[in-house]
Amino acid sequence: MRITNQREIILEELRRLKSHPTADELYEVVKKRLPRISIATVYRNLERLSEAGMIHKLEYGGRQKRFDGDVTPHCHVVCVKCGRVSDVETVPEVDAEHLVVDSRGYKIFDGVIQFEGLCPKCQLLEEKKIN
């Protein structure tokens, strides 16, 4: 894959952010360095980068796609209210192969475990609603 300067900057900014941004959120950041870039260009580059396996595309049922510059195997927790995505520390010795009890002959080499919950901000909002 040919790395254009734009694509390099998009990749660089995505890797720097730990927030798993949506394309729109990343666009706001990239725009500061590339004032003339369009949202369509950001979208296109994110698709290409994810096809090339250089970034991960996160799709959680019906929500806006998010992107992760960290392609090492790790788990996510998703806030069911605001859609915020955070990395989850996993137990190092538990790899995908050992998590699958009955893999019916498959050789497992990768897997995605997703947790759902409420982020600290939404928990506060919930508490306020109750009180």
- Report the residue number, 4 or 126, with the smaller CB distance to Zn ion: 126
| Alpha carbon of residue 117 to chain centroid | 16
Sort strands 75-79 and 114-117 into parallel, antiparallel or unpaired.
parallel
CB 92 within 8 A of CB 74: no
Q: Show the tokens assigned to 79.
A: 């806030």
DSSP single-letter state for residue 29: H
Q: Show the tokens assigned to 124.
A: 């506060």
CB 52 within 8 A of CB 1: yes
- Report the residue number, 38 or 123, with the smaller CB distance to Zn ion: 123
CB 50 within 8 A of CB 56: yes
* Number of chain positions touching Zn ion (CB under 5 A): 8
Give the shortest CB-5-to-Zn ion separation in angstroms.
25
* Site track for Zn ion across 45-74, x = CB under 5 A: -----------------------x------
Among 82, 88, 112, 124, binds Zn ion (CB under 5 A): 82
Residue 77, interface with Zn ion (CB under 5 A)?
no
Give the shortest CB-2-to-Zn ion separation in angstroms.
26
In the complex, the residues that contact Zn ion under the rule CB under 5 A are 68, 79, 81-82, 84, 87, 119, 122
